[in-house]
Amino acid sequence: MVSTTRVFKNKKCAGLLLFIFVLLTSSRIWYSVLHESKNPCTACTAPCTLEYINSIEDLEQYTQELDICGSEDSVNLLKRIYKVNVLGSPISIPKPLKNKLNQWLLGDINLISKANRQKVVQIRNRFTKESSHYNPMRAMRPNVQGSNSSEYVRNLIMKAEKSCDFCKPLLLTAEETWGRIRTKTSLSGANVFRLVGPNNAIILADRHNVLELSAEELADMFDCAEQWFKKVNSLNKDLIFPMLVWDFFPKAGASQIHPHFQVWLDKEYSGQFLTHFQAAQLYRIEYGEDYWTDLISLHLNLGLGFKSGETVVFTPLDSHRDREVMVVGDRVDATFIKLFYAAIKLHQAQGNFCLSVGMSWPSLLGSSYPAVARIGYRGDCTVQYSDMSSVDVYAFYSINSNPTHFIHQLKNFTMSAQL
Ligand SMILES: [Zn+2]
């Protein structure tokens, strides 16, 4: 016989279980209601699309578990290519530090209110395995902002001209045993201090001042580089993958102020160029689709890029540096060079003089792999602090700017400027 107390206890227990069951069920229903109201894809009757993001923080809404619709939809592309985490925990800021913070954040009430509950947008490319972490508030740290970069770089250019080796290239630069490539306003030379073998050229503009380099002169430097690739390939048919790097001013790593590309040709892409090439191959194996087509589609759908002719320019979610843009096209044609030049001119117009560029061409044997150029800002030229630290060298890329801003400005600049 069951005692009254025991029955009562069992009833209490049953009631508690019923309560928990109802709570869980109703939570699930409410979760579904909320979920459906935010996610138009639940019914899977239409392709999922992403809305343009206004800031990198807007990506957080896409980190939630969304229902997956057709394989072509934008949300799926984001999830296919990137893993996005938005993480942060509140901190306590003592009053004396608050006063300093107020100065660093220039009294911006919005930023000050967010300071003790910052979130970091952490983005990992699933195929290259590279990670970029975004916290635009880090740009407001003390000592990372300079004063008058324009005056500084103009003085630097003027002083360097008096003893510039690259202004006297026939006397003060080396050449290959077969000679040089000469184009209308550019000349090739052999890099005395080889970066890479077997051949490593410098492509020199005749013009010393990079701020006065015209679009035609830049196009001529690309022409000179391409003629050098063809010449080297004619001497060694195994070398088929063309690559280029270019730094502006010492802060970005340039040993000479005079505008010059470093170019080389190899049997396979080098370093990070190879990482992307292999990522595209892995993507093809896993999804049977073209990596670059989907990467471009995703960024255009997020409002992080725009198209001109057959060339696309966008700010990659896995940027390596602040205000970075990636120019992608089937070939390095006039439109490609125009967008490349526009990005440099806009940076210079904004006082971003220290830049680094990395670029690869399709294989000389012909390839569906595109021409890709990345242009990133290396921090204020007048500031002694490096834009890079152990974080960027050994861990992940730390990005302190909002990726939406520069690309929007570049779109307007490209449409309005007489380039
Ligand atoms: Zn010079």
- Do you know the residue count of the chain? 419
Q: How far apart are CA 336 and CA 312, in angstroms?
A: 8
- Kindly give the distance from the C-alpha atom of residue 340 to the centroid of ligand 1, in angstroms, as a whole number: 22
What's the rounded Cα separation, in Å, for the pair 30 and 64?
Answer: 16
CA dist 202 and 246 (Å) reads 10
The per-residue pLDDT for 334 is: 95
Q: Looking at the 3D structure of the chain, how many domains does it have?
A: 2
- For the record, the structure tokens of 91 come out as 């901190």
Residue 404 lies in a domain: yes
What local confidence, expressed as pLDDT, does residue 171 receive? 96
The parent domain of residue 343 ranges over 149-416
What's 95's DSSP letter? H
Contact criterion met (CB below 8 Å) for 325 and 374 = yes
Give yes or no: residues 110 and 156 share one domain: no
**251: CATH:** 3.30.428.10
- pTM greater than 0.75 (yes/no): yes
Whether residue 45 lies inside any domain: the answer is no
Ligand 1 centroid from CA 163, angstroms: 8
The Å distance, Cα 204 to ligand 1 centre, comes to 9
Could you read off the pLDDT tens digit of each residue along the chain, which spans 419 residues? Answer: 334 344 444 555 455 555 544 444 444 433 333 333 334 444 444 446 677 888 888 888 777 655 455 445 778 889 899 999 998 888 888 888 888 888 877 777 777 777 788 889 999 999 999 999 998 777 777 666 666 789 999 999 999 999 999 999 999 999 999 999 999 999 999 999 888 889 899 999 999 999 999 999 999 999 999 999 999 999 999 999 999 999 999 999 999 999 999 999 999 999 999 999 999 999 999 999 999 999 999 999 999 999 999 999 999 999 999 999 999 999 999 999 999 999 999 999 999 999 999 999 999 998 889 999 999 999 999 988 888 999 999 999 999 888 899 999 999 999 886 56
Together in a domain, 136 and 188: no
Q: For residue 90, is the peptide bond before it cis, meaning its omega torsion is within 30 degrees of 0?
A: no
- Indicate whether 37 belongs to any domain: no
H-assigned helices in 39-148? 74-81, 95-104, 109-114
pLDDT at 239: 97
According to the model, what pLDDT value does residue 12 have? 54
- What is the helix (H) or strand (E) element at residue 283, kind and residue range? helix 271-287
- For ligand 1, the distance from its centroid to the CA atom of residue 380, given in whole angstroms, is 22
